[in-house]
Amino acid sequence: IMTGTLSSGINAEYDAGFSAPSPVVTCRTSLSSPVTSLHLTSLTSTSISLSFSQPRHTAPGAPFSYRIRVRPDGESEELTMLVDGGDVTVEGLQEGTVYGVSVATEGRDGVQGEERVIKAMTVIERLQSHEVLKVTDSRIELAQRGLPTELSLDHLAVSVVQMDRVKRAVVSDTWNNITIPLTQGLDEVKFTLNDLVPGTTYGIQIKLHARFGELPVVTNPGPLAPVTTEINGGGEEKLQRLVEELKRKVAEKVSVVRGNLDRDLASLASLDPDCMAERAQEMVTVLEERLERNVTVMQQIMTGTLSAGICTHPGAGYYSVEDSNLIESRLCKTEAECQAMCKTIWNCETGVWQQPAYHNSDNGHGWCLMYKG
């Protein structure tokens, strides 16, 4: 009866003799009660180790082993193994996965005792790379995302060390270790490294300290991620670069404007006296329009929105004088003069020579045009 192999026949006694046997009643007891003291002893990224003690009650003389079943949460496929002792390591598991682990005695005939179940989670090898949110001359703002909410989060251990900016190698024996407390249930945390040296490259590593049940869990640190602080906030250095660039652009523009005026005056002096009045009025109009364009260009230079001006190549498109992309035009008599002007003044290979319809085609005057490029 204790081993589940005996059927008990019960006879009813009647007066001096016995009646016919009553129906047979078959019963089987459990092989054992559940194992005792089941607990986790260690966790890695691919294994779970556990320990347990024998059940309090077992069938006398019945040999048995222990059946271990390991199944990821929410899945039906399981890993099973049969062991003799109470200290077991289950290997070949997936990183950062929660498993249900059951333990039960099992006799040689396959009959099992009552199961005992425990939850376990394999360790995350390392956290995902942290994100740099903002860098100044003395501060680095960071975010660590992807924290495992299945664990009881404790803190982040942040290690900071100086590195060579070019070689990306550690140049200091001093590591600054900072502890960032964590709040349970949050999958990300933002924090700031303060009091840093301007213009210095720092390597940053982060480890997670947490618990699964009573077991401590510590991830491996990721690779050193270099971040360089700005020099004086970057403001003065950037401003100096902008000032120098602005001076250069203004000097170039002044030179171009001065050259334009000299050539326009020379062109006026060479005009046929018969059309001097008409051409003079046209040139005044052109100079007024050019002045307005120059003011616009100077505003663009000051705001840094001016594209480099180059001459368009033949076949790239035909533009009128009123085109919004036109930066500059110059009076010239022939297309050859236009091409020479492009090379000597605007430093480009080919220009567009246009003879406006309102000019007398016999006098050969036209315009050499420069567009935004």
Could you list the mean pLDDT of each consecutive 10-residue stretch along the chain, which spans 373 residues? 51 51 60 84 93 82 85 90 91 93 88 89 91 92 93 94 89 92 92 92 94 90 88 62 79 82 71 65 76 67 48 35 58 72 64 48 56 56
Q: How many CB atoms lie within 10 A of CB 212?
A: 19
Whether the CB-CB separation of 210 and 154 falls below 8 Å is answered with yes
Q: Kindly state the greatest CA–CA separation across the chain.
A: 162
H or E segment and range at residue 295: helix 276-303
Burial tier of 154 (Cβ tally within 10 Å: 0-12, 13-18, 19+): middle
Q: For position 362, what pLDDT does the model report? A: 44
Q: Which sign, positive or negative, has the C-alpha torsion 146, 149, 150, 155? A: positive
Q: Residue 331 corresponds to which tokens in the numbers above? A: 């009076």
Burial of 273 (0-12, 13-18, 19+ CB in 10 A): exposed
Angle between helix 235-269 and 276-303 (nearest 10) = 170
3-state secondary structure of 44: coil
pTM score above 0.75? no
Write down the H helix ranges in 85-216: none
- DSSP letters spanning 245-294: HHHHHHHHHHHHHHHHHHHHHHHHHTS-GGGHHHHHHHHHHHHHHHHHHH
Residues 6+ apart with CB under 8 A from 149: 185, 186, 187
Phi/psi for 284 (5° steps) reads -60, -45
What residue has token string 């333990």? 103
